[in-house]
Amino acid sequence: MKLTWYGHSAFKVEISDASILIDPFLSGNPSFPNDLSVDQVAEGVTHVLLTHGHDDHVGDSIEILKKTGAQLTANFEICMWAGAKGIENINPMGAGGCVDVGPFKVALTTAHHTSSTIPESGEPVCLGNPNGIIVEAPGEPTLYHMGDTDVFSDMALINELYAPKVGIVPIGDRFTMGARAAALACQRFFEFNTIVPCHFGTFPILDQKANSFVSALGTESGKVREMTPGGDLSV
């Protein structure tokens, strides 16, 4: 499994027979590398997974889906919203479901956050409930992208059901877990081999570095693989 981070919560996950984009907030993302384009990132993409409907997660997904014909997997409301924008290859789900899409299985988990978009009218439109995402693929470590969330005790059930070994963890505070809560989530509820922090450093109101998170992990800090936008990692 190869991970590429594009800043914020945007990742590409490459496995055998699939190139997956999660929360592809690229254009408008201050941490998206200047030497990359949306078209370059979209090349070869087969699947787009969305954790929730906020603009800094939906990002360029509609443009990418139209250009590539990739399949969209997200909650029902996001898929219907995308369908109204001309996206036909949709795979609607809900929290607790697990769907085999061929090269991998995807499950949606609960997340403690919100999910909406703001159209030109300025009135927020609800896009269902927020989620985390599990990706299970043969011969690969199970990945858990937490989406935007606070820590919650039912993370223990997520670990019991899926035993993820790669955790993509939001640490930026204010809208998600901060360093202390994110470290507690990793320590108490999971047995990750690899921890990748995200959702930090993008905007001034978020924590700018992962130092406090790494420090709070204590003896488990060696599991952290802090990435730079545009960088990749094999796990």
Task: Say what the pLDDT of residue 231 is.
Answer: 98
Q: Per-residue pLDDT for 135 more than 90?
A: yes
Instruction: Give the SS3 label for residue 225.
Output: coil
List, in order, residues 6 or more apart from 137 with CB less than 8 Å away. Answer: 1, 15, 16, 18, 103, 104, 105
Residues paired with residue 108 on neighbouring β-strands, in sequence order: 133
CATH topology of domain 2-234: Metallo-beta-lactamase; Chain A (3.60.15)
Distance from C-alpha of 119 to C-alpha of 43, rounded to nearest angstrom: 28
pLDDT tens-place string over residues 177-235: 999 999 999 999 999 999 999 999 999 999 999 999 999 999 999 999 999 999 999 99
Beta-sheet strands, E only, within 17-79: 18-22, 47-49, 71-75
Distance from C-alpha of 144 to C-alpha of 227, rounded to nearest angstrom: 16
Does the pTM of the predicted model rise above 0.85?
A: yes
Query: Is residue 117 exposed (0-12), middle (13-18) or buried (19+ Cβ within 10 Å)?
Result: middle
Instruction: Give the SS3 label for residue 24.
Output: coil
Instruction: Give the SS3 label for residue 195.
Output: strand
The answer to whether 76 touches 101, Cβ cutoff 8 Å, is no
Q: Per-residue pLDDT for 25 more than 90?
A: yes
Q: Please tell me what DSSP assigns to residue 184.
A: H
pLDDT tens-place string over residues 95-115: 999 999 999 999 999 999 999
DSSP string, 166-209: EEEEE--SSSS--HHHHHHHHHHH---SEEEEES-SSSTTS---
Instruction: Give the SS3 label for residue 155.
Output: helix
The domains of the chain are located at: 2-234
Average pLDDT over residues 70-88: 98
The answer to whether 158 touches 132, Cβ cutoff 8 Å, is yes
**What is the token pair recorded at 218?**
């204590």
Residue 143: which of 151, 154, 132, 128 has the closest Cα?
Answer: 132
Query: Is residue 40 exposed (0-12), middle (13-18) or buried (19+ Cβ within 10 Å)?
Result: exposed
